[in-house]
Structure 1
Amino acid sequence: MSDNTYKTSDLYLSAYLKAKGLRLLDKRRDGNKFVFIFDDRQDRKDLIQEFFNDGMVNITAFKSAIQDLKTMVFNV
């Protein structure tokens, strides 16, 4: 992956970022967990700050993102 990516193993942060429009590029196994790899954006740090400060997101998009990410992990 290039330097223009952001990686995290936090499922709920990943779902939040996906629901906010960050493009998920890939997922990789790292030991006993998965790392989600996103196309980085200039506002990514702000989105992470929002997440940790009770940011708002469309609940339907968030739920859908969680389901998508879990499906990716369990269908390896």
Structure 2
Amino acid sequence: MAGGDFDYIVVGAGTAGCLLANRLSADAGQRVALLEAGGQDNYHWIHIPVGYLYLMGNPRTDWGYMTAAEPGLNGRSLAYPRGRV
């Protein structure tokens, strides 16, 4: 889309962000930009169904979040994969 003038800019393409952008763009007279952090989805493992195994923990595609250490887990924390594309 050419130009940088938008009526609405939605930051974050999670569930709520995508829904909001979709609803706003239902009016053809409105220009809506949906922004998401991360890079392009040109990494080949993203397009292969079993490729998710190579995406988790990969700084190119995963934010690398960890849970807080939990007493019930003997003080361990767990990886909390979140997409970064």
Q: Which has the higher contact order (CA 8 A, sep 6+)?
A: 1
Confirm or deny a common fold (TM above 0.5).
Answer: no
Greater strand fraction, Structure 1 or Structure 2: 1
TM-score computed with the length of structure 2 as normaliser: 0.22
TM-score computed with the length of structure 1 as normaliser: 0.24
Greater helix fraction, Structure 1 or Structure 2: 1
Larger Rg: 2
